[in-house]
Amino acid sequence: MGAVPSTPPSRWFRGTGLGVLFGGLTAVVSTPAIGSAWAACDIGNGVTNGMTLLFLAPLIWIAAAVPWVILHSTLGRRHRRTALTAGLIFTLWFTWFLVTWLGMPDSYPAPLCPGNVPPWWPSFIPA
């Protein structure tokens, strides 16, 4: 008498591990990049920016993790590689979107950054 057979994970939560991993990576990469853009363009002040980024980091993590769970539980059931590729493309796009949308606001007059693009931003990546 013994062990109860383990049940497979619910189909809606199969991609949770990948979502947590890549959502965390998105938050870890985009949050400092946004902070660096704000610092380079003299947007706001250090304390307020830091608190804002601390508030945004878990929200970014969740917003990046949910699509992974959805992709893996729907498309990943039959086409695992396609789901992984789509997830990676989404993660790269979402990171770029966050950094360019939050880190380089068009409405803020930035005398230090022409076009509100920080000097460290690579020219081959559109802002």
Q: Give pLDDT, residue 126.
A: 87
pLDDT at 8 over 70: no
Instruction: Look over the chain and give the mean of its residue pLDDT values, rounded to a whole number.
Output: 84
Average pLDDT in the 29-39 region? 92
Domain boundaries, the chain: 15-107
Band (3; pLDDT cuts 50, 70, 90) = low
- Buried/exposed code over 82-121 (b: 16+ C-beta within 10 A; e: otherwise): ebbebbeebbeebbeebbbebbbeeeeebeebeebbbeeb
pLDDT for the residue numbered 98: 94
- pLDDT of 82-122, one tens digit each? 888 998 999 999 999 999 999 887 777 667 788 788 888 88
Residue 43 — pLDDT band, cuts 50, 70, 90? Answer: confident
Cα 25 to chain centroid, rounded: 7
pTM value is: 0.81
